[in-house]
């Protein structure tokens, strides 16, 4: 069962953006728990936060996403920028070390945070970082991600998202032919077929290349005081984010920990998606307790 603690929303000016973050304060000896993703915002963590009402929980919208406004939304955001943003939020809520659960692109950004500011984080659980640059089929995977950005630039949101869905659901290694294959029809996924002319989407412009092409500083990560756990979904084996997580764990000299459900296993209906949030939260609590 989940409980509800109404969050207090705050804003924070950072270089190039104004961030919105939510604080659910609880009197507890445990460090605050940050829940982050990218480009998904704070709204995706409503269910998961409800399983951790015994400690302070912090969520936020990454720069350019939902309530967090970029000064120039037509620019690329980098993992290093996101890492600095999270570092500043940690300072704003009282400083580290905190515990940090980070999913998808947020996991990429969290690895950059720990490399730069290891004192900020006690335990990092990095769930399914889509690190295409680390998988054995690196060239094919990177080309497939570039094809998403190219489809967006040529045809707009529907075209880009259709290609993105094809990439994230792809099973197994990528070849050069995958990037060159015809893109799926956006209408197959209920996506718009008309181009509205916008080219500032947080996923398809701002983060798709910088996140998937990022190569973490593994020397810094291995030297950090932070305990780093890489998580993967039991139902997403073979997909890029799963394989990126396994590759990252291998570089760290550890084994990826399996979490219930899939890439969005913590979701409880947010954005119309539902994983297995109760089991996911129980696994996360178990992993965080192994300090």
Q: Write down all domains in the chain, each with its CATH number in brackets.
A: 8-131+214-289 (3.40.50.1820), 138-207 (no CATH)
Question: 97: phi > 0 → left, psi -120 to 50 → alpha, else beta; which?
Answer: beta
Percent share of the chain, pLDDT over 70: 99
Go through 252-291 and write b for each residue having 16 or more CB atoms within 10 A of its CB, e for each that does not: beeebbebbbbbbbbbbebeeeebbbeebbebbeebbeee
pLDDT at 115 over 60: yes
Percent residues over pLDDT 90 in the chain: 93
Q: Beta 17-24 vs 8-14: how paired, if at all?
A: antiparallel
Going by C-alpha positions, the residue among 273, 249, 248 that lies closest to residue 261 is 273
Q: Which residues does 48 contact at the CB level (< 8 Å), separation at least 6?
A: 35, 101, 266, 268, 277, 280, 281, 284
pLDDT at 211 over 60: yes
Residue 3 has a pLDDT of 64
Question: Which pLDDT score, from 0 to 100, does residue 6 have?
Answer: 86
Mean pLDDT over residues 107-111, rounded? Answer: 98
Q: How far apart are CA 263 and CA 241, in angstroms?
A: 8
* CA distance to 101, 136, 216, 217, per residue, from 222 (Å): 18, 21, 11, 9
pLDDT of residue 95: 95
Confidence of residue 183 (pLDDT cuts 50, 70, 90): confident
On the question of a cis peptide bond just before residue 194, with omega within 30 degrees of 0, the verdict is no
Lowest-pLDDT range, 155-159, 182-186, 214-218, 279-283?
182-186
Whole-number pLDDT of residue 1: 47
8 Å CB contact between 231 and 126: yes
3-class secondary structure per residue, 64-126:
CCCCCEECCCCCCCCHHHHHHHHHHHHHHCCCCCEEEEEEEHHHHHHHHHHHHCHHHEEEEEE
Structure tokens given for 187: 């209408």
Q: Are the C-beta atoms of 151 and 203 separated by less than 8 Å? A: no
Query: How confident is the model at residue 120, as a pLDDT?
Result: 98
At 290, the pLDDT band (50, 70, 90 cuts) reads confident
Write the pLDDT tens digit of every residue in 70-104: 999 999 999 999 999 999 999 999 999 999 999 99
Q: Are strands 57-61 and 227-233 parallel, antiparallel or unpaired?
A: unpaired
pLDDT-based confidence at residue 291 (cuts at 50, 70, 90): low
Q: For residue 4, is pLDDT > 80?
A: no
In the predicted model, is pLDDT for residue 261 greater than 70? yes
CA 237/CA 4 separation, integer angstroms: 33
Q: pLDDT tens for residues 223-258?
A: 999 999 999 999 999 999 999 999 999 999 999 999
pLDDT at 190 over 60: yes
Mean pLDDT, the chain, whole residue set: 96
The whole-number pLDDT of residue 240 equals 98
* Closest alpha carbon to 127 in 215, 255, 258: 258
* Verdict on whether the full-model pTM lies above 0.85: yes
| pLDDT at residue number 196 | 95
Task: Give the pLDDT band of residue 14 (cuts 50, 70, 90).
Answer: very high
All residues at 6 or more sequence positions from 100 whose CB lies less than 8 Å from its CB, including other chains: 33, 34, 36, 86, 110, 113, 121, 123, 124, 125
């Amino acid at each position: 069962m989940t409980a509800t603690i109404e969050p207090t929303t705050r804003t924070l000016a950072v270089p190039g953006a104004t961030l919105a973050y939510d604080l659910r304060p609880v009197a507890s000896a445990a460090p605050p728990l940050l829940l982050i993703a990218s480009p998904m915002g704070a709204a995706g963590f409503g269910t998961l936060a409800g399983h951790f009402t015994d400690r302070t929980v912090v969520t936020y919208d990454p720069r350019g996403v939902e309530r967090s406004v970029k000064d120039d939304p037509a620019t690329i955001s980098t993992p290093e920028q996101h890492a600095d943003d999270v570092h500043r939020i940690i300072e704003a809520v009282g400083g580290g070390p905190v515990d940090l659960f980070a999913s998808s692109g947020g996991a990429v950004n969290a690895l950059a945070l720990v490399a730069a500011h290891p004192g900020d984080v006690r335990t990092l659980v990095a769930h399914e970082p889509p690190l295409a640059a680390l998988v054995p089929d690196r060239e094919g995977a990177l080309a497939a991600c570039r094809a998403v950005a190219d489809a967006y630039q040529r045809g707009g949101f529907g075209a880009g998202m259709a290609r993105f869905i094809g990439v994230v659901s792809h099973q197994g290694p990528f070849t050069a032919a995958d990037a060159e294959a015809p893109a799926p029809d956006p209408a197959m996924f209920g996506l718009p077929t008309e181009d509205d002319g916008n080219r500032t989407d947080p996923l398809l412009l701002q983060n798709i290349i910088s996140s998937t092409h990022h190569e973490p500083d593994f020397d810094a990560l291995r030297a950090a005081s932070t305990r780093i756990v890489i998580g993967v979904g039991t139902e997403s084996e073979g997909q890029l984010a799963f394989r990126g997580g396994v590759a990252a764990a291998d570089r760290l000299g550890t084994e990826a920990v399996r979490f219930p459900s899939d890439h969005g296993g913590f979701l409880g209906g947010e954005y119309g998606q539902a994983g297995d949030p109760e089991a996911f939260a129980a696994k996360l609590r178990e992993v965080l307790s192994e300090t």
